[in-house]
Amino acid sequence: LPKAFGAGYKVVITAGPTVEDLDPVRFISNNSSGKMGYAIAQAAAAFGAEVTLISGPVNLDAPKGVRRIDVKSAVQMLHAVEDYIKSADIFIGCAAVADFRAETISPVKIKKSEEADTLTIKLVKNPDIVATVGKLESNRPFTVGFAAETNNLHDFARAKLEKKHLDMIVLNDVSNKAIGFNSDDNEVTVFDKDGQIAHFEKQPKPVIAQYLMELIFKSAKKKNS
Ligand code: C5P
């Protein structure tokens, strides 16, 4: 492909985990490494696109030429996405967003008590960021989601695509330990509303990212063209 395949496209990508504070020293999070989202940002930039990477806390450097916005929680991630989404042609939700956060963050360290053997923390649902973008009524970008499933891949893909109003969904089979979370490799199957459109065998995430960005640039329209 020519280097300028993605020239003129504005791409917004979320990556990494979110971190939901419980008190000043404790939090809820997950072990997303951010590798897939960062590889996608790098591939999109290498194809000439203008890339904004909205990232939860990860141990990775921003790819060259990519604007990186650092966030911590899902609510912060949603606000950052809202800041950049209006002019975006493409949105790719790669982040492993925590499904829940504490209803209230304790301003002081939570203490254990002598009397009680249990502690209850009330969790509330986080906003679904990719669904919020998918359901935009104006200035909606081409919207891509990810999903990690272990079984019934096709059924879940179709259901999630519809529920979140996505244009494309990329499935990782996480029943295979050699791929997915924290791994350097991935193997994915891609669906749109008509069904499966691609399958990429186990390969390094940067290679998978290039194939995915080719597919996405071919399907997405530029807003100002
Ligand atoms: O529903 P599930 O978490 O399996 O969906 C995964 C997809 O949804 C990913 O693209 C992920 O980035 C996105 N997501 C999101 N906000 C959430 C939960 C998931 O953007 N609160």
- Pocket flag, ligand 1, residue 20 (CB < 6 Å): no
Task: Provide the angle, in degrees to the nearest 10, between the axes of the packed helices 35-46 and 205-219.
Answer: 60
In order of 16, 19, 68, 75, 129, the CA distances from 125 in angstroms are 19, 14, 26, 11, 12
30 is annotated as an active-site residue: yes
In ligand 1, which atom is closest to the CA atom of 130? 20
Largest CA distance in the chain: 68
Say which CATH number the domain at 162 has: 3.40.50.10300
Domain span including residue 36: 3-224
Pairing of strands 195-204, 142-149: unpaired
Ligand 1, pocket-test mutation among 99, 101, 129, most atoms within 8 A of CB: 129
Q: How much is the ipTM here?
A: 0.96
In the chain, how many domains are there? 1
Q: pTM of the predicted model, to two decimals?
A: 0.95
In ligand 1, which atom is closest to the CA atom of 132? 20
Determine the residue type at 126. Answer: N
pLDDT tens for the chain, 225 residues long, are 556 889 999 999 999 999 999 999 999 999 999 999 999 999 999 999 999 999 999 999 999 999 999 999 999 999 999 999 999 999 999 999 999 999 999 999 999 989 999 999 999 999 999 999 999 999 999 999 999 887 888 888 899 999 999 999 999 877 766 665 678 899 999 999 999 999 999 999 999 999 999 999 999 987 765
Determine the residue type at 14. Answer: T
**What is the number of other CB atoms lying within 10 angstroms of the CB of residue 10?**
22
Cα end-to-end span (Å), the chain: 21
- Pocket flag, ligand 1, residue 209 (CB < 6 Å): no
- Pocket flag, ligand 1, residue 53 (CB < 6 Å): no
